[in-house]
Amino acid sequence: MSTIVSGSSDRPGNSDRPGTPDTSSARPTGSDAPLSPLPPAVADTSVDDDRRTAGLTIGVDVGGTKVAAGVVDGAGTVLASVRRPTPGHSASEVADTIAAVVAELSADYEVKAVGIGAAGWIDANRSRVLFAPNLAWRDEPLRDEVSGRVGLPVVVENDANAMAWAEYRFGAGRGRRDLVCLTVGTGIGSGIVLGGELYRGAFGIGAETGHMRMVPDGHLCGCGNHGCWEQYASGRALVRAARQIAALDPSAAAAMLEACGGDAERLTGPDVTEAARKGDPAAIRCLTEIGQWLGEGMASLTAVLDPDRFVIGGGVSDSGELLLGPARERFAQTVPGRAHRPRAEVVIAELGSQAGLVGAADLARI
């Protein structure tokens, strides 16, 4: 009997309504139905090859703990790369670090522009970071800060958008014109390509799919709302589920607890994944739960966007089919019109940790 699952509703969130069990462990269930096969991939004709191959650019991936940068050619190949710790939360200090890595890389390569992928909300002009919670930034003019230091054209892009673009151009999205790229880590980041174009929304801050509300009055999210998708289908949710098992039935969580020295509060996502790979039933159950919620959200996105491929990256995707198997199954069970529509593929991202800087570099060519 699962200790992280409660309720017997067909939809997640029904158990949150008055007179039903606790929402925090609602589990999506449903009946399966066959899907039609996806039509063959079509060649991408939306990108000017001359713009794509002319010259080298530098891509910079700015995160809460590191600044990674690389020289990238028009084929998406990283010719050289450097990595530095993120120097605190000051935008000026981060701009100094970006300028330093650009100068280091430019010493050996002639580059034409710099693309920066930053975790946060980026304005429609790709110049300002409106909100970056991991860096405590508010309305920072990052493009001007960096361009004034490096003397090159600079564009700023959301990091998940940059990753999605890289996978679309050079990775798991090649040959598809409509795709959703999901970065399943601590939360859920996402980038959307529609008709061969990166979708940003009217104000530049679209594609925040991790904050779709899946469970009314569910878990509190860092955005201030309750029941966001990333509270149920992310690394944070995986660890919470594992710790819940450890608290309720330590013997069932023995393999996971062994990995963290017996202290449930030290359990991490990689601990759960490693235990699941070794066949631990409780760890497999945790990843199944996360995968089902992931598939549920993909079905909802399909109702609006109708993509032909979902590309899954981020740390939790290291669990491979332990995550994607349940995600595909739940997606197939709940996608609207499932018996009468083509099947969108669900695949693992190909470019790994360099996707962000590769995408940022390529977007700097546009």
Per residue in 206-219, pLDDT tens? 999 999 999 999 99
Residue 262 located in a structural domain: yes
201 domain residue, yes or no: yes
Closest CA to 114 of 59, 62, 177: 59
Nearest Cα to 112, choosing from 339, 366, 319?
366
* CA atoms of 205 and 161, how far apart (whole Å): 10
Instruction: Check whether 41 has a pLDDT greater than 80.
Output: no
Is the pLDDT at 26 greater than 80? The verdict is no
Tell me: do 264 and 327 sit in the same domain.
yes
What is the structure's pLDDT at 37?
44
Candidates 94, 49, 33, 28; CA nearest to 326 is 28
- Tokens for 39, please give them: 């039509």
In a domain, 328, yes or no: yes
Q: Is residue 189 part of a domain?
A: yes
Alpha-helix runs per DSSP H in 40-157: 49-53, 91-106, 142-150
Name, in order, each residue with C-beta under 8 angstroms of 141's C-beta and a sequence gap of 6 or more.
127, 128
Both tokens of 92, joined, read 């000026």
pLDDT of residue 46: 46
pLDDT at res. 50: 53
In a domain, 7, yes or no: no
Residue percentage of the chain with pLDDT more than 90: 74
Question: What is the residue-averaged pLDDT of the chain?
Answer: 87
**Residues 151-200: tens digit of each pLDDT:** 999 999 999 999 999 999 999 999 999 999 999 999 999 999 999 999 99
281 with 306, same domain: the answer is yes
Q: Are residues 208 and 312 in the same domain?
A: yes
Q: Is pLDDT above 90 for 39?
A: no
* Structural domain includes residue 2: no
Whether 12 has a pLDDT exceeding 50, the answer reads no
| CATH number of the structural domain spanning residue 282 | 3.30.420.40
List the beta bridge partners of residue 129: 122, 140
Is residue 8 pLDDT above 70, yes or no?
Answer: no
Answer yes or no: is pLDDT of 33 > 80: no
Percent of the chain with pLDDT over 70: 85
pLDDT grade for 118, boundaries at 50, 70 and 90: very high
Strand residues in 282-349 grouped as ranges (E): 309-313, 345-348
Q: Does residue 221 sit in the same domain as residue 255?
A: yes
| Same-domain check for residues 128 and 161 | yes
At 42, the pLDDT band (50, 70, 90 cuts) reads very low
The arithmetic mean of pLDDT across residues 202-230, rounded, is: 94
Asked if 344 and 212 sit in the same domain, the reply is yes
Q: Are 65 and 106 members of one domain? A: yes
Residue 14, pLDDT > 80, answer no
On the question of pLDDT at 97 being above 80, the answer is yes
Same domain, 149 and 199: no
What are the DSSP E strand ranges found in 95-178? 111-118, 121-122, 129-132, 137-140, 154-158
What is the extent of the structural domain holding 70?
Answer: 49-171+354-363
Residue whose C-alpha is closest to residue 178's, from 339, 305, 351, 28: 305
Would you say residue 133 lies in a domain?
Answer: yes
Instruction: Give the number of residues written for the chain.
Output: 366
Distance of CA 366 to the CA centre of its chain: 23
Q: What is the pLDDT of residue 89?
A: 78
pLDDT for 1 equals 34
User: In which band, very low, low, confident or very high, does the pLDDT at 223 lie, cut at 50, 70 and 90?
Assistant: confident
If asked whether residues 202 and 331 sit together in one domain, one would say: yes
Phi-psi domain of 315 (left: phi exceeds 0; alpha: psi -120 through 50; beta: other)? alpha
Q: Are residues 182 and 263 in the same domain?
A: yes
Residue 96 has pLDDT above 60, yes or no: yes
Whole-number pLDDT of residue 54: 60
> Same structural domain for residues 165 and 188?
no
Band the pLDDT of 136: cuts 50, 70, 90.
confident
Average pLDDT over residues 282-306: 98
Give me the mean pLDDT over the 77-103 stretch: 94
Number of domains in the chain: 2
Query: Does residue 250 fall inside a structural domain?
Result: yes
∠ CA 217-221-227, nearest 5°, is 30
- Order of strands, sheet of 137-140, starting from the edge strand that comes earlier in the sequence: 121-122, 129-132, 137-140
3-state helix, strand and coil shares in percent for the chain, rounded to the nearest 5: 40, 20, 40
Are 225 and 299 contained in the same domain? yes
Q: What is the structure's pLDDT at 90?
A: 87
